[in-house]
Amino acid sequence: MLESERLLAHEVINAEPNLTEEAQKIFADNHCRVRFIELERLTENEFCQTIVGVEGILAGGEYYTPPVFEAADQLRIVARSGVGVDHVDLKAAAEHAVWVTNTPGATNTSVAEFSIGLMLSLLRHIATLAAQMKTGKFVRTGGRELASLTLGVIGTGGIGKEVTRLARAFGTQVLGYDIHPDLDFAQAHQVEYVSLKQLLQQSDIVTIHCGLDENTRGMIGEAELQLMQPTAYLVNTARPQIVDKGALVNCLKTGKLAGAAIDVWETIPCPADDPLLQLDNVLATSWSAFYTDTAVSNMHRRAAQEIVRVLQGHPPQHPVNKPEIRKS
């Protein structure tokens, strides 16, 4: 980049490792100078120092607090490369004239396929059988067929709908719970919307696909888990805070639940002594449901396009807030 071009370039931070070549080209073609910084590793004070003079951020899982926005003297957009924005203080962003965007739909297929894979592994003990074979144990373990069961889907947005479509292809009966039920989708795919209580009581597998907010935080607690059948499984590829971990561990230990598959954790990486990792009836994975080449490409491309759009003076396509005063 020539010195004159450098002076005119937009300052952008990319907090996502392995930014795709396509996203890099989008930035380069639109006069954006991009620095990769693992913002998630910084203290809040270091974050505040780093963000000075930055106009756009392709964000990862780091937290955006009021002090961060206060320090961000030139920031115009925080573009999340995923769907969840629970790490961003949307009110503070709006007060400081910063757009916040996400990439809806980018991970629908990847998360849905992974969720179905977790269900099949739980039902057929695939992970256990594979591990036994590696130790020389040729053991056959009986399982259950997904087609014969009832699946409860909590949250029927884009990912929940895709899980439903895949499950229905197996012949699975599907129950749905959502504060905004899509009745046309339900009719087209033979889904029955029920109350959360009914879903928990009637489902052989409960899979969580809602976002995290003040209404869903702790939504699945001791009382809700007690409603589930002792032969039922819980699958969480959404957010860890939706489920009361202590209550879940207790139910798994005491046999009130058959098992669980957990892909999401409070910290990355999760501690080796996490109580869920100590249980044989827990299938644990490393927050990888979204992680496919196609999904990452979609997320990075759309986030980069949103940043460029805002830096060129246009509103973003997928805002999740509305800045009170837009910066020119």
- Over its length of 328 residues, how does the chain's per-residue pLDDT go in tens digits? 544 455 469 999 999 999 999 999 999 999 999 999 999 999 999 999 999 999 999 999 899 999 999 999 999 999 999 888 999 999 999 999 999 999 999 999 999 999 999 999 999 999 999 999 999 999 999 999 999 999 999 999 999 999 999 999 999 999 999 999 999 999 999 999 999 999 999 999 999 999 999 999 999 999 999 999 999 999 999 999 999 999 999 999 999 999 999 999 999 899 999 999 999 999 999 999 999 999 999 999 999 999 999 999 999 999 999 998 654 4
Q: Which residue has the tokens 């999340």?
A: 80
* CATH 3.40.50.720 domain residues, the chain: 3-105+293-311, 108-284
Homologous superfamily of 108-284 in CATH?
Answer: NAD(P)-binding Rossmann-like Domain (3.40.50.720)
Closest CA to 149 of 115, 173, 123: 173
pTM of the prediction?
0.91
User: What whole-number distance in Å separates Cα of residue 74 and Cα of residue 62?
Assistant: 19
DSSP H or E stretch at residue 327: none
pLDDT at 256: 97
User: What whole-number distance in Å separates Cα of residue 238 and Cα of residue 3?
Assistant: 45
Query: Using N-to-C axis directions, what is the helix angle for 126-134 and 108-124, rounded to 10°?
Result: 70
- Bridge pairing between strands 77-80 and 99-101: parallel
Task: Reduce the DSSP state of residue 166 to 3 states and report it.
Answer: helix
Q: Which residue has the tokens 């962003």?
A: 93
User: What whole-number distance in Å separates Cα of residue 295 and Cα of residue 309?
Assistant: 21
Residues whose CB is less than 8 angstroms from the CB of residue 91 and which lie 6 or more positions away in sequence, other chains included? 321
pLDDT at 193: 98
User: What whole-number distance in Å separates Cα of residue 276 and Cα of residue 246?
Assistant: 9
Pick the CATH number of 3-105+293-311 from 3.40.50.720, 3.30.70.1450, 3.40.1390.10, 3.40.50.2300: 3.40.50.720
pLDDT at 325: 65
Asked if 211 and 83 touch (Cβ cutoff 8 Å), the reply is: yes
Q: Where are the beta strands (DSSP E) in 217-307?
A: 233-236, 259-262, 282-284
